[in-house]
A = this chain, B = another copy of it.
Amino acid sequence: MSGDHEPGDPSIDGDTSFGGKVTADGGGALTGLFAPERVAVVGATDREGSVGRAVTENLIAEFDGEVVPVNPSRDEVLGLSCVGSVADADADMAVVAVPPGAVIDVVRECGESGVRNVVVLTAGFGETGAEGADREQQLRSVAAEYDLNLVGPNSLGVMSSPRGLNATFGPDAPPAGGVSFMSQSGAFVTAVVDWAKEQGIGFKDVVSLGNKAVLDETDFVRAWGDDPDTDVVVGYLESIDDGRAFVDAARETTDDTPVTVVKSGRTDAGAQAASSHTGAIAGSDRAYEAGLDAAGVLRAESVQELFDSARALAGGDVPESDGVAVVTNAGGPGVMATDAVGDAERLRLASFDDGTVESLSEALPDEANVYNPVDVIGDASVDRFREALDIALRDPDVGSVVVITAPTATLDFGELGEMIADAADEHGVPMAACLMGGGRLADARDVLRERGVPSYFDPARAVGGLESLAEYREVRGRSYPEPEPIDADRERVREILSSVTERSDNRLGVEAMEIFDAYGIPTPEGAVVDDPAEAERIAEGIGEEVVMKIVSPDILHKSDIGGVKVGVPVAEVGDAYEDLVSRARNYQPDATILGVQIQELIDLDDGVETIVGSHTDPQFGPLVMFGLGGVFVEIMEDTTFRLAPVGRDEAAEMTEEIEAAPLLRGARGREAVDLDSVVDAVRRVSQLVADFPSIVELDVNPLVATPDGVRAVDLRLTVDPEELESQS
């Protein structure tokens, strides 16, 4: 370690990517946090049970750099000489464990003396009410002023195995390995580290994010993407602060490093609990779902799933097919694994080609099953197992393999483990072992752990591990093209939206249908008129019968007050006009009535009602939703969401992935609707809401799709006047 550098001298960094505060648009490996040379512990002490002592002890234990206790009232802490202030420590990283009221000054001192990596363990900030929130805001300002890489406050600390760094006050350091782990819960870090030792899961870097005043999930997901020693990024998150920045960063990382997270607060109850735990305002889980998917981040629902997935992903091999071979010496567990493959959305049982079956028939005894799942029978030796495995691994449909063993008398399980690991190495095909037993299979478990092949007791979990790989394979194969540009009259939309500022209400209905024209979204023929004669004139130009709707910003549910008439003969249009207006007046005497909309009658017998909607999520911004109209959205909740805007491919996926999708494709003897025009409408709506953040909610309901195209028949949108102001 080069202790003679001047504080603030950038050359102490030892890595060119070190030092700069990682921002959403920049890059950086945060090496200074995980591989510092000299760490100052501000608040170091000998006092038993204190955070300052625990972190100092942990640092002394294994760290291969230097540790400098900072404590003005002591000469020595745990046998190391103390300095009086962080400015005297000549450190490149500081761990801060002083009372909350003293933190700001210490951090400022770090900034002034050139210590750019700071981990604040102290609690009593944003998580504790107004005073703490205020303190956290000051901390953020100081960090920005000095461009600090600051973790916390309210963090357990950071760990990094290559240098033996344990800058936490937790009880243990984790085993070394390729998992880099961030957690929004410090307790979860201590839990996982303790458990990982039993499970043989090894870590590269670990960070307890704390309150994320400065560095957050986006910074670490980016940094680990550039880290050759990180095989897989694992996260426990309760919130994502800037959804779009996270998506951008994660997309770069997931290109070659898988990322898997638990985002808790999935359910209403959980979201409430998370928000009371972290103080973060929760966006909807549908938004997180869409955001994590857009980011290429795998999402686990439980801790177990998280690490099952991480262990499989850490192996590095990615399957080339979704076909799974099951090779087992026990029939029942083979059936269970097959069920699990059947359950898995992204996997299927591989179907062997004739050569494979023939070779297996030659290699295995008569009672064996040579079709998938391959049963090598309970008396199989390691050699027989190996032979079957080799044959299955060469089958072109096999993308990954589950190898299952029960405790049998004929096997040396250490040898079996070596054989499985050898086969995995030679073939480069992902493999998961299902070791169905306890102590008798311990040797196999140890060998596989050592050699990086994931093993599980439960066949369903082994298959779950492989499914993560199949999911990551899809992510790695992605490209993220910009959505195709859309030629739109944005000026016209701005004008229409600004009309709300003239009114007390910030909602718009059919009176804003021109927005669709401006964005090239087809609407039924027609117009909004404000006298009966004009109504008749328009109707005559349309056809024999028309649809008529009252147009009033004050009447949101037109149908409920009889404000919609369908199939009005042209001759009756004048009377119908009067009737609609008087109904509206009766309903609400002071309602603003903008007129009546006369619309072409779309024959629904040939069409399918769809809905395209949008709302703005606090973390991820505008989302676009697609579903079929009526009961499908309202009762079956058969909808799909994406971050807006979407391109053609994404919009097409949306029309494919709803459950009722076959209806669009002409199920039940009907003609298929013009899907291209549905896709086109979805992407145009998504571009509209992306272009105008002031549209906080929008529903095109219905967008009627027929074999000849689509028509946006009705519209409701909500404008945020402040946002509108700021745009114009």
Contacts and interface: CB of A to CB of B under 8 A. Distances in A.
Interface of A: 49, 54, 128, 170-172, 183-188, 190-191, 194-199, 236, 238, 262, 264-270, 272-274, 276-278, 301-304, 329-336, 338-343, 348-349, 367, 369, 371, 373, 375, 378, 406-409, 436-441, 457-461, 559-560, 630-631, 634-636, 638, 659-660, 662-663, 667-669
Contacts of A458: 302-304
A666 to B, nearest CB: 12
Nearest to A329: B187
A326 to B, nearest CB: 8
A191 B265 contact: no
B188 A436 contact: yes
Contact of A336 (B264, B278, B336): B264
Copies of the protein in its oligomer: 2
A378 to B, nearest CB: 6
A332 B185 contact: yes
A630 B608 CA distance: 14
A190 B435 CA distance: 12
Contacts of A187: 329-333, 378, 406, 408, 436
B631 A668 contact: yes
Nearest to A464: B302
A640 to B, nearest CB: 15
B342 A269 contact: yes
A171 to B, nearest CB: 6
A339 B331 CA distance: 36
A340 B667 CA distance: 37
A198 B438 contact: yes
Given A270-B342, A273-B338, A171 B440 contact: yes
Contacts of A340: 302
6 contacts: A183-B332, A187-B408, A196-B438, A274-B335, A277-B334, A277-B335
A637 to B, nearest CB: 9
A100 to B, nearest CB: 12
A407 B273 contact: no
Contacts of A560: 669
B330 A188 contact: yes
Nearest to A660: B635
Indicate the member of A197, A341, A342 with the most B CB atoms within 10 Å: A342
A330 B185 CA distance: 8
Indicate the member of A267, A667, A668 with the most B CB atoms within 10 Å: A267
Nearest to A123: B367
Contacts of A336: 262, 264, 270, 302-303
A663 B373 CA distance: 44
Q: Which 7 A-B pairs have the closest CB atoms?
A: A185-B332, A267-B342, A187-B330, A270-B339, A191-B436, A302-B460, A187-B406
Contacts of A406: 187-188, 190-191
Contacts of A273: 334-335, 338, 373
B439 A197 contact: yes
Contacts of A638: 636
B335 A264 contact: yes
B333 A185 contact: yes
Given A171-B409, A303-B458, A631-B660, A188 B333 contact: yes
